[in-house]
Structure 1
């Protein structure tokens, strides 16, 4: 018997919403069941276990994340694309903290290999960076730099880690401007041949 109109999609969406409101680490089968007003066992026909549920939330979050970024960078290149990418990243992370945390959940590599969102993320990020003339291995290093910078900044911001009087938005804009400068001068900065 299907209770409370449950479907796998509804269960995963509710788990993502719970992650945003309570924290990704608070997403449990019991918490979801309470939210739906059903017994835990009612959810097991929709998800195998907690790991499966969290993986499904991670996949949903990865798709929503890249949807936001792709929409922002569409038709842009160079600095304009970098700013749009960075702003979309930051906005998603701050508006959806639980979903954002889910994007960092370790998903089985076999599942990642079959998940379109992860491939789209790599393609979109690489395309943006190729506009700066980057190729591997510099491309990989630049992807890691962007991810580290964006994650570190948004994580600190979300935790209230910026207490100086200077507006956080100004610091964000300066950080992105600094990344643009570095990416524009990557070959000379690293000694790579242009």
Structure 2
């Protein structure tokens, strides 16, 4: 077998593939090194340690998710953009379970400062703009939408919906309809109540 030239990008991509195949716990430095046919110390020129490798996976996840969300909401607004936003998250979580898992932990400063993180926020703000949500309320709405989508997708991923009817496929559009209703009526609420 011919040795492949290692780069940070190739090391992180391989770790992401391992995570998608077997969960984040599978994405270790030794597993990545074995997959390339090298010894673990060979990776240290590309990633500082396991934490840096995991941060790389999370940044990759944010980048790839941002690409998919951007495509899903392009040229859409209001309900259509919200559905595209939600469906892109769900498709990503299903297609890349390890990358999705990497997004579930507390983000390091390295991850938070990466432009890919800001891009996801900009996509969410674009969806909210279509509903006329005031800039002062957007952080609340981003947290609400993120919490609802993330909660549903993590419960679905764990199989928590597998033992009850109706199937999660029928509940997903109900979740998106509920978010649409909330966003559509947000500006009607009585702020003084």
Report the secondary structure of 1:76's partner residue. Answer: coil
1:173-192 equivalent positions in 2, closer than 5 A: 173-189=173-189, 191-192=190-191
Distance 1:164 1:108 in 2: 37
How far is the alpha carbon of 1:46 from its aligned partner?
A: 1.2
1:19-38 equivalent positions in 2, closer than 5 A: 19-38=19-38
- For residue 69 of structure 1, what is the aligned residue in structure 2? 69
Change (3 A) 1:111 1:103: closer
1:62-101 equivalent positions in 2, closer than 5 A: 62-101=62-101
Distance 1:192 1:126 in 2: 21
How far is the alpha carbon of 1:131 from its aligned partner?
A: 1.3
CA contact (8 A) 1:73 1:84 kept: yes
Please report the TM-score for the alignment, with normalisation by the length of structure 2.
0.91
- For residue 57 of structure 1, what is the aligned residue in structure 2? 57
CA contact (8 A) 2:111 2:117 kept: no
The alignment yields a C-alpha RMSD, in angstroms, of 1.8
- For residue 124 of structure 1, what is the aligned residue in structure 2? 123
CA contact (8 A) 1:58 1:105 kept: no
How far is the alpha carbon of 1:111 from its aligned partner?
A: 5.2
Distance 1:93 1:172 in 2: 14
Moved over 4 A (4+): none
Structure 1: where are the runs of 5+ without partners? none
Distance 1:139 1:112 in 2: 18
Distance 1:167 1:103 in 2: 25
Please report the TM-score for the alignment, with normalisation by the length of structure 1.
0.91
How far is the alpha carbon of 1:128 from its aligned partner?
A: 0.8
How far is the alpha carbon of 1:7 from its aligned partner?
A: 1.7
Aligned residues: 190
Distance 1:135 1:109 in 2: 28
- For residue 155 of structure 2, what is the aligned residue in structure 1? 156
Change (3 A) 1:110 1:94: closer
Report the secondary structure of 2:142's partner residue. Answer: helix
Distance 2:169 2:107 in 1: 32
How far is the alpha carbon of 1:69 from its aligned partner?
A: 0.3
Distance 1:192 1:109 in 2: 35
Structure 2: where are the runs of 5+ without partners? none
